[in-house]
Amino acid sequence: MQQKSSATLLAFSGFIALAVAMGIGRFAFTPLLPMMQQDVGLGLAEGGWLASANYLGYLVGALIAIVLPSSPATLLRTGLILVVATTALMGITDNWLGWLTWRFIAGAASAWVLVSTTSLCLTRLAALGQPQKAGVVFAGVGSGIALAGLLCMGMGLGDLSSSAAWLVLALFALAGAWSTRSLWADAVPAPTAAATPQTSAPAPARNGHWRLILCYGIFGFGYILPGTFLPAQARLLVADPAIFGLAWPAFGLSAAISTLMTGRLVARYPRRRIWAACQLIMAAGVLLPVLWHTLSAIVIAALCVGGAFMVITMVGLQEAQAVGSGNGRKLIAALTASFAAGQLIGPLFFSLTHSWFGAQLEHALILAAVLLVLGSIWLISPEGKAHGAHEPTLPGRPPTN
């Protein structure tokens, strides 16, 4: 009973850490952008640069996490402090170059929190014999997105300024960061014999790791195109601003619910197959607005992409922790960097092909869908395991092959 209680507290602490880092540090800018456009006359081009700065910071932060010798607990503390500070600075300062700097730092800090929280929580939950509670941890991302969206919608309806809104979010981030202090202890309990993942063969070779890394980058490329452009497509079909106000919380809630539902599936089905299935669902969501030009198609696409997004994040990082051969944190950071690179390449690819060749958004979405399908096939193909190696298997869960 005590172990179960400890695992619940641990999972909830990870939940809050990811809600702060991702819901506020990464994604709060999306619902705040219309307020900043109204308050300070921020242009779409400037807003795009601020979003790109955060994406770039996320990539740099993930790369730093690969080589940084700091413990996960130190990385977590530092990341949360920086998320709180940069969120407050967005409300205190009014200089665009300063905002660019804060969004870059917030992106890097968010990557640190994601990598360190994943590493700490997955290790400790395994030691407590409660690995299925990872679904609670990763539900923090979608819940943070939903909360930030609802807060911003409420503050916008209440005629609060964007600077005040940033400060309110900073207070929520501060409270959340303080409540995660149970994760800050540097000591990580060693897994017990019953909780330690069992292996029937040597750990996967490095080329198996590269396969995971590249597939996770494809996931980032496939996710960011609809994540960036679906709202723009919706605006062509409906003019009601209330729909856009609710769109972001709905996206976050679908992401949170999907991870909670998947938490127990991981104990029954191989992670890579869950990942591959979710990429197929995401591919369908990416392709649907290309084939069906209605608001219903965009809503269904948003649910497919939003629902699959966090499930892939959860099982992908769990897989990295399991096959990391003692370097799980570094492999988690490598996957995070790969996602960030794919996320950067997606909009850039569309912009360049549109400018140089007149390619439409539909062409980029078709390419993203094709890559997601190919990535799914690659994930479950026998060649994914070098020299007959098998992934570590949790008790009660069948092996991948």
* CATH code, domain carrying 128: 1.20.1250.20
Token couple for 118: 């994943």
Give the single-character DSSP code of 182: G
Residue 238 CB neighbours (<10 A): 12
* 172 and 133 together in one domain: yes
* 171 and 210 together in one domain: no
Query: Residue 184: what residue type?
Result: W
Task: Give the C-alpha separation, 294 to 148, whole Å.
Answer: 28
HSE-CB of 240 using CA atoms within 13 angstroms: 5
* 286 and 351 together in one domain: yes
* 6 and 146 together in one domain: yes
pLDDT given at position 237: 66
Domain enclosing residue 156, as ranges: 1-181
The predicted-structure confidence for 301-355, as pLDDT tens digits, reads as follows: 878 888 888 899 989 988 888 887 667 788 998 999 999 999 888 877 877 787 7
* 77 and 219 together in one domain: no
pLDDT given at position 192: 42
pLDDT given at position 205: 41
In a domain, 31, yes or no: yes
pLDDT given at position 61: 94
Return the bridge partners of 198, or none.
393
3-state class of 395 per DSSP? coil
pLDDT given at position 214: 92
Q: Which residue has the tokens 């080589």?
A: 67
Task: Give the C-alpha separation, 153 to 289, whole Å.
Answer: 26
> DSSP labels for 69-93?
-S-HHHHHHHHHHHHHHHHHHHHH-
Structural domains in the chain (count): 2
pLDDT given at position 181: 86
Q: Strands, E, within 203-292: which ranges? A: none
pLDDT given at position 277: 94
Return the bridge partners of 393, or none.
198
Q: 58 with 111: CB under 8 angstroms?
A: yes
In a domain, 188, yes or no: no
Q: Which residue has the tokens 């309990």?
A: 189
Name 355's Cβ contacts closer than 8 Å, sequence gap at least 6.
Answer: none
The H-or-E segment that residue 267 falls in is: none
* 278 and 383 together in one domain: yes
In a domain, 198, yes or no: no
Residue among 308, 317, 297, 302 at smallest CA distance from 257: 308
* 387 and 340 together in one domain: yes
Radius of gyration (Cα) for the chain, nearest Å? 20
Task: Give the C-alpha separation, 317 to 271, whole Å.
Answer: 10
* 352 and 275 together in one domain: yes
219: left (phi over 0), alpha (psi -120 to 50) or beta: alpha
Residue 258 CB neighbours (<10 A): 24
Report residues of the chain scoring pLDDT below 50.
186-205, 384-401
pLDDT given at position 64: 92
In a domain, 189, yes or no: no
* 2 and 40 together in one domain: yes
pLDDT given at position 50: 87
Task: Give the C-alpha separation, 255 to 257, whole Å.
Answer: 6
Token couple for 380: 């479950």
* 48 and 141 together in one domain: yes
* 241 and 150 together in one domain: no
pLDDT given at position 234: 63
Q: 230 with 348: CB under 8 angstroms?
A: no
Task: Give the C-alpha separation, 301 to 297, whole Å.
Answer: 6
Helix, strand, coil abundance in the chain, percent, nearest 5: 80, 0, 20
In a domain, 190, yes or no: no
